[in-house]
Structure 1
Amino acid sequence: MHRPSTPDTEDAFAEELSAVRPDLSARYAAALPGARAAVLTRLWRALAYEPLPWVARREADRDGLTVRLTDGRPLHGPRPDPYATSAYVTEVRLGERAYERPELLVDALDVPHGGAFAAELGNSVASLALSRADRASGDGPGTSEASWVWEQRIVDGHPYHPNCRSRLGFSVAEQLAYGPEHRTSVELSLAAVDDALVTGEWPKWLRDGERVLIPVHPWQSAHVLDAPVQEGFGARPLMSLRTLAVPDGPHVKTALSARLTSSVRDISVYSVETADTVSTFMEEITVRLDAPLHITRTLGAATAGFPDLAAVVRESPDGYAGAGERCVPVAALPLTMLPEKASWLAEFTRLVLTVGLRLLELGVALEAHGQNLLVILDRAGSPVRLVYRDLADIRVSPARLARHGIPVPRLSGRIVTDDETALRRKLFGSLVGGALGATAGSAAALREALETVAPDLPPTADLPALLGEPLPTKALTLMRLSPETPGDLWTRLPQPLFGPGSS
């Protein structure tokens, strides 16, 4: 009998939940099958499309897809939809055995680094079931609520990552206390630093004389930092978990050295050093672009000199919404009351692709996924402008800037590249493979939207690659199974305009 190499996380969650929130126990148990299917669907996407070294070939048939492993074993599941967000995979067969639980399937695959990944998948399932169990009913946001309210309605996390809700290192009680989907407020502490590196204008309310007060997440205080902290203030956690909205104030991005989805989250010294330069540069680019795009300014960034104690303070996006308008994170769009689906999706697609392509032509590739990108909806629900936040992972091309007579900012390091493939991957992978794909919810809906707007898009040098080639996306599972390889790894998804079965 096959025994998993990982403890049963579902049972461990149930046991702790019975102690801290027994009222959720029955709902948690009822949510587990759906959570397993949601994570298994994301995993099947990876097995169907990512360049995994232990996959020999893939064979489509009438019943779905068979993935042949290098050891000869067949892995069979339904025909994959690379842009689907519904949980359509309820089991995958490895040889003669069917698997409903994604962590047990990875255990059975017995691939390098699979044990750690299986543990994360089990945590993702249990955390997702917990999030769904605590889903509030009948409390959808109104038409004018702050953007953080929309963010706290997002229950399922990353639309395509198997680790969509993985929060290893967080107890059930900590997830309930700190997870945005649990509609909580978090008390941040303050660490006083004498010789902090500061860029931009660090707020006066975060200073104590000459000392800089760096906001610290309570999980970081409990598990990572030895530095003494003092009482701080309450703030609402956003979907990234470590960024929080101060009431009637800015957003504060804290260091939180936990593994969430793909990577360990912290704030590098490099990010602090470049924060003000990048923010100023992007303000100037936005003015030059003269497009319906706002950039949330970085007000200040500070670090004690190491990634575990740092913070970034930036504008709230809500200030860019006018009377009667809503500023909604793209990841929350499926939760909103939108006009008729097909026409609205085309309108939204036209807006985001036009802005993204024009900015890329100038020399800036945004990482415009559903978390970083927000859309302003007018009274009728139509998308009218975009707001982009968190500039830490954009890419800037000095060569493209120079061609347009734009002064090149004084930047170095990972943010700077002239590599055409890297620039297109950054924008297309996040915007089409992420924000647009998840908003459409299927390859068919995305194809219809692209067919509608293709004639209207700006004819830049990047447009043929966008509309005529397979689309890049991060190989999220390969990255988790390749701990010895730093940085992003990529795969290519079928071009939606080519229709079913394209590659």
Structure 2
Amino acid sequence: MHRPPAAEAGIAEELAVVRPALLPRYRAELPGARAAVLTRLWRALAHEPLPWITGRTRGAHSLALRLADGRTLHGPHADPYATSAYVTGVRLDRDRYADPAALMTALGVSHADAFAAELAHSVASLALSRADADHPKEWPEHDWEWEQRVTDGHPYHPNCRSRPGFSVAEQLAYGPEHRPVVELGTVAVPADACEVSGAWPQELREGERLLVPVHPWQSEHVLGRASAPWRPARPLLSLRTLALPGGGPHVKTALSARITSSVRDISAYSVRSAAPLGDLADQLTAHTGGLLHITRTLGAVTAGSPDLAALLRESPERYAGPGERVVPVAALPATGLPDSPGWLAAFARLALTVGLRVLGLGVALEAHGQNLLAVLGPDGAPRRLVYRDLADIRISPARLTAHGLTPPPLTGRLVTDDETALRRKLFGSLVAGALAATAGSAAPLAAALTAAFPALPAGDDLSALREGPVPAKALTLMRLSPRTPGDQWTALPDPLVLETGACDQ
């Protein structure tokens, strides 16, 4: 019998106090949440280069993973592109596990206990998110309403809803899927102690001081000081980025908590690079035939610490024409449109055309479902794309120069001419991320790619994609390797040949 981990029981206890009416639904959602997180974990075990897995054998109806200590894991075939929760249990030798946290604890590998705690929190928070999902069937009018419809978080990360450091009351108050209004505050800092990129608005100036927008969680838990009330806002998919009312800018705040994998502060590097990246964005969009818009960062500020910084960014809604809607790709499944093979093929063709064209010019976008948005016509057809948040793209000065474009005056992690790094950034986020999650499994993804490929711009980048395999971040390996900096990668089987046994090793 399953005994609820401390995270599940803890959230139930808090929920009984702050929202008791939600408790029965929360408990009902727990089994599905365990299966959803276990499915993500099984994907990682099946496809990531985890050093303690020494072999994988694909049988007629199952997959067996041989462990370095002599034990064997048994589970279903692992579709690396599936978003449905199809794994309800796996066997470690003779013992069956339906709880991902319990499985990770039983595996007993290095850093397993810490990761198991994160998995338990992910399950409990995911159940809470699903329990509070109550959205009308009609398509929403505002961009932030679309972002509220994504209840499950990252489609492939086992820590899809892990929010350590957030109480139940704080999740309900700040999580976009709970539809809150968040009261942003400001902290006044002497202007000469700040670094500013772009134009900082008069509204956020006070004499010789700049007012830095602050998330209330950050104010309470990190800064340890009160902030002055500023404006109400609606949280977006990234939780720390919020939409001001009336179509105002989006405010990206520092939120020094580990959400999914990363601590969400804002580095001085990001602030300094905001204006040069905006200039680069203008060059790129001029070469995409009107198919791509990139939201500009209007202003950025840091007060000498990644814990106290903010960015103001254009709302993607400004790029919608009459009758059009701008929908984050992560929310596209909520529209029902991806169920049509023709629609999915048209979207894949649009997204890959834009992504490959921009990559050819010299910039690899991190085009996952949070950063990439689709402009839909009144008939639902994908017309154009909007990209937001240039903080983690990759820039090739050599490619830009070869096309007569001016590389931004930047150094550091964003800049590389390494073709593998450039292609990993785009294909790992767009194909293994946005397109795969929109398709929902390997078969529709393969069909969409097959239909899209003949219309794509020819070149070495397309050839590299077509020849496979598909790069993807090794998300679980990264969580189990906390002392290894930077991204780690895996190679997912080509969805077009997945059924041939390409995942065996």
Deviation per CA, 1:309-357: give whole Å up to 9, x if none. Answer: 0001000000101111110000000001428610000000000000000
For residue 157 of structure 1, what is the amino acid of its counterpart? G
CA distance in 2: counterparts of 1:162 and 1:226, whole angstroms: 31
Gaps of 5+ in 1: none
CA distance in 2: counterparts of 1:270 and 1:328, whole angstroms: 29
Identity over the aligned pairs, expressed in percent? Answer: 65
CA distance in 2: counterparts of 1:166 and 1:189, whole angstroms: 25
CA distance in 1: counterparts of 2:434 and 2:202, whole angstroms: 36
Q: What secondary structure sits across from 1:215 in the alignment?
A: strand
Match of 1:253?
Answer: 252
Residues 292 and 211 (structure 1), Cα distance of their counterparts in 2 relative to 1, 3 Å cut: same
Instruction: Tell me by how many angstroms 1:403 deviates.
Output: 1.2
Residues 299-378 of structure 1: pairs in structure 2 closer than 5 A: 299-338=298-337, 341-378=340-377
Q: What secondary structure sits across from 1:360 in the alignment?
A: helix
CA distance in 2: counterparts of 1:49 and 1:188, whole angstroms: 41
Instruction: Tell me by how many angstroms 1:296 deviates.
Output: 0.4
Higher mean displacement: 208-217 or 65-74:
208-217
For residue 490 of structure 1, what is the amino acid of its counterpart? W
Q: What secondary structure sits across from 1:224 in the alignment?
A: helix
Q: Residue 67 in 1 paired to residue 65 in 2?
A: yes
CA distance in 2: counterparts of 1:368 and 1:342, whole angstroms: 21
Instruction: Tell me by how many angstroms 1:286 deviates.
Output: 1.0
Note if contact 2:182-2:234 (Cα within 8 Å) is conserved in structure 1: yes
Note if contact 1:236-1:245 (Cα within 8 Å) is conserved in structure 2: yes
Q: Residue 142 in 1 paired to residue 139 in 2?
A: yes
Deviation per CA, 1:272-320: give whole Å up to 9, x if none. Answer: 0111111111112211333400000100000001100000100000010
CA distance in 1: counterparts of 2:287 and 2:471, whole angstroms: 28
Q: What secondary structure sits across from 2:45 in the alignment?
A: helix
Note if contact 1:141-1:149 (Cα within 8 Å) is conserved in structure 2: no
Instruction: Tell me by how many angstroms 1:265 deviates.
Output: 1.0
For residue 96 of structure 1, what is the amino acid of its counterpart? R
Residues 228 and 171 (structure 1), Cα distance of their counterparts in 2 relative to 1, 3 Å cut: closer
Q: What secondary structure sits across from 1:289 in the alignment?
A: coil
Residues 87-486 of structure 1: pairs in structure 2 closer than 5 A: 87-137=85-135, 139-142=136-139, 145-194=141-190, 195-248=193-246, 249-338=248-337, 341-486=340-485
Poorly superposed stretches of 4+, deviation over 6 Å:
none
Note if contact 1:326-1:376 (Cα within 8 Å) is conserved in structure 2: yes
Counterpart selection for 1:28 from 23, 26, 32: 26
Instruction: Tell me by how many angstroms 1:165 deviates.
Output: 0.2
CA distance in 2: counterparts of 1:165 and 1:228, whole angstroms: 28
CA distance in 2: counterparts of 1:151 and 1:398, whole angstroms: 34
Q: What secondary structure sits across from 2:187 in the alignment?
A: strand
CA distance in 2: counterparts of 1:292 and 1:186, whole angstroms: 33
CA distance in 2: counterparts of 1:418 and 1:64, whole angstroms: 41
For residue 301 of structure 1, what is the amino acid of its counterpart? A
Note if contact 1:189-1:217 (Cα within 8 Å) is conserved in structure 2: yes
Residues 47 and 339 (structure 1), Cα distance of their counterparts in 2 relative to 1, 3 Å cut: closer
Deviation per CA, 1:358-386: give whole Å up to 9, x if none. Answer: 10000000000000000000011000000
Higher mean displacement: 286-295 or 425-434:
286-295
CA distance in 1: counterparts of 2:5 and 2:253, whole angstroms: 31
Instruction: Tell me by how many angstroms 1:188 deviates.
Output: 0.8
Instruction: Tell me by how many angstroms 1:227 deviates.
Output: 4.4
Instruction: Tell me by how many angstroms 1:205 deviates.
Output: 1.1
Q: What secondary structure sits across from 2:231 in the alignment?
A: strand
CA distance in 2: counterparts of 1:47 and 1:366, whole angstroms: 27
Note if contact 2:235-2:242 (Cα within 8 Å) is conserved in structure 1: yes
- TM-score, reference length from structure 1: 0.97
Instruction: Tell me by how many angstroms 1:228 deviates.
Output: 4.3
For residue 142 of structure 2, what is the amino acid of its counterpart? A
Q: What secondary structure sits across from 1:257 in the alignment?
A: strand
For residue 155 of structure 1, what is the amino acid of its counterpart? T
Q: What secondary structure sits across from 2:73 in the alignment?
A: strand
Deviation per CA, 1:174-213: give whole Å up to 9, x if none. Answer: 0000000000110111001112110001111111122111
Q: CA RMSD in A?
A: 1.5
Deviation per CA, 1:240-280: give whole Å up to 9, x if none. Answer: 00000000200000000000111111000100011111111
Q: What secondary structure sits across from 2:409 in the alignment?
A: coil
Match of 1:19?
Answer: 17
Gaps of 5+ in 2: none
Instruction: Tell me by how many angstroms 1:402 deviates.
Output: 1.3
CA distance in 1: counterparts of 2:38 and 2:339, whole angstroms: 30
For residue 364 of structure 1, what is the amino acid of its counterpart? V
Q: What secondary structure sits across from 2:458 in the alignment?
A: coil
Q: What secondary structure sits across from 2:286 in the alignment?
A: helix
Q: What secondary structure sits across from 1:148 in the alignment?
A: helix
Higher mean displacement: 207-216 or 356-365:
207-216
CA distance in 2: counterparts of 1:499 and 1:77, whole angstroms: 17
For residue 494 of structure 2, what is the amino acid of its counterpart? Q
CA distance in 1: counterparts of 2:228 and 2:412, whole angstroms: 35
CA distance in 2: counterparts of 1:17 and 1:448, whole angstroms: 44
Higher mean displacement: 357-366 or 223-232:
223-232
Deviation per CA, 1:430-487: give whole Å up to 9, x if none. Answer: 0000000000000000000111111111002101111111010000000000010011
Note if contact 2:220-2:226 (Cα within 8 Å) is conserved in structure 1: no
For residue 74 of structure 1, what is the amino acid of its counterpart? T
For residue 451 of structure 1, what is the amino acid of its counterpart? T
Instruction: Tell me by how many angstroms 1:406 deviates.
Output: 1.2
For residue 47 of structure 1, what is the amino acid of its counterpart? L
Note if contact 1:202-1:299 (Cα within 8 Å) is conserved in structure 2: yes
- TM-score, reference length from structure 2: 0.97
Q: What secondary structure sits across from 2:255 in the alignment?
A: coil
Note if contact 1:467-1:497 (Cα within 8 Å) is conserved in structure 2: no
